[in-house]
Structure 1
Amino acid sequence: MNLFKSHFWYEKSQRNGILFLLLLILFVQLVSYQIDRYPGEIPPSDSPEIIAFQKKIDSVKAMESALRKPKIFPFNPNYISDAKAAQLGISVAEIDRLFTFRRSGKFVNSKKEFQQVTKVSDSLLETISIYFKFPDWVVNRNRQDQKKRRGVVEHNRATKHSIELTTTDLNAATVLDFQFVSGVSASLAERIVRYRSKLEGFSFESQLDEVYKIDAKLTQKILKTFQIIHKPNIQKVNVNSLNFKELLRIPYVDYELCKKILNYRDEVAELQSIVELKNIKDFPLEKYDRIALYLTAE
């Protein structure tokens, strides 16, 4: 006991020195803590140093995100799975159209056919089509077809330059005459001629707009070259003597309108004037001038 007592027994001056030393150590610790807590003035968020540092952080994050993103390998779209479709952003309805098409034993052989079958948007097609991989024989066949189409286009251009108009009469122009107008293909020219035959000739230039799959701007271009010079001589028929099938063959008269005309004729016994057609309920007044070209009331 005396041994330990000798080590802990100090004089007053010694005790004061120890107390001072303890206070000094405590002061140094507090100063060190404050320095660590506030290392210096923090630069503002829009300073060049902070902006450069933030760019480095964003770059690292982007690289990390790219590494985490599943890698997409080239694939044949004919054998795409539901999971792969969802990964690419293809909707359930769009992929179901492809599955239905495939169940019929058919295959899509180009990205254009893929879009025609699935109805995906242009933007999505451009994004996912870079991963499409078709068999080599399909790729080679598509190249050959493209060369053939290019040759046909060049041939049509050369042919069009060599065309000489035989007439500017809309009712006398031939299939080749119509192809003189830039943008009019052979198939469109044939449709114009067929529709003109159905009408027995154009009586109004606006009837050209009724041709199947004709563009309004293209119609204007055609009418700059062709006009109605000789109107058709249409033999009108008596509406009071026509049966259902005969009346249905009249241009602009569809099934429903045919029934309405015949029902009205039964109500009034017979039409005294073709203008009476306008009295029929829901009669398409915008078609009256055209229907009146073929009918009379006697």
Structure 2
Amino acid sequence: MKNIKSHFEIHSRFRNGIFLLSIVLLLSVFGYYFYPKPTTLEQSFVELTEFQNQVDSLKLVTSLEKKVYQPKPFNPNFISDHKGYQLGLSTQQLDRLFAYREKNKWINSVSDFKNVTKVSDSLLALISPLFKFPEWKKNEVTYKQYARRKYPIKTYAQKEDLNRVTAQQLQEKVNVPDFIAERIIRYRNKLGGFVGDIQLKDVSGLYDHQRKKMLSLFTVKTPKQIKKVNINTASVNELIEVPYFTFETVLEIKDYIKKNGSISSFKELEKIDGFSLEKIDRIALYLTLN
């Protein structure tokens, strides 16, 4: 009986193998629970989608940057510095245009634009097809004919005094907007009363046809009493009282007379640097030459 061995008895060599196998299995179990899990398919798809969106955005930005600037039709009266740069206009040409517009004058045709800016024919040929003028300008002839027909005809005696008319009367009889009527009255008060009908030209925003209709109903019957001054002998203080002269303008006039002698014609004032004859008909209301 002592020679019979238990069937559970394991040789030492097998025991070592089982021990090593147990260690490997234990390490595998720990590795399964503690080793970082790989990214799932769903997460990979989300990341891929975000990356593709970034690529598409970069492609869109690149395509927009490659787009060539396509000029659109525009009114040449409202060209800005940036717009002029895009069109290829020089700073001198833009300055001429801005100076012209500051006088409340308008570009009404391609020839007007060329005469004002002195732009070259080659550049004008490129940009003039883009000029867009208002519809009323295209029908200007019809508009003017209609305007002439609606002006009432009155004698001097039938007309009312422009220096006594109220803003309300201007709105009702001439059909001008309330702010224009108020502007006329404010300008009249600033002058101390109109000296002549021609001074209505100085009211900003008053259209030519409105002014003509107004003068068909009103005229200056009680003009402001002024004493005209001799432009050649007047002092600086006397000339500065003329509504259309600035201090700098007066100094230029005095300097011109000192260098060239007496002014014999109001047209001579055009020779003075920076002086415009646009308002000479109103200036002449306050001045004499001898």
The TM-score normalised by the length of structure 1 is: 0.37
Higher normalized helix content (fraction of residues): 1
By relative contact order (CA 8 Å, sep 6+), the higher-ranking structure is 2
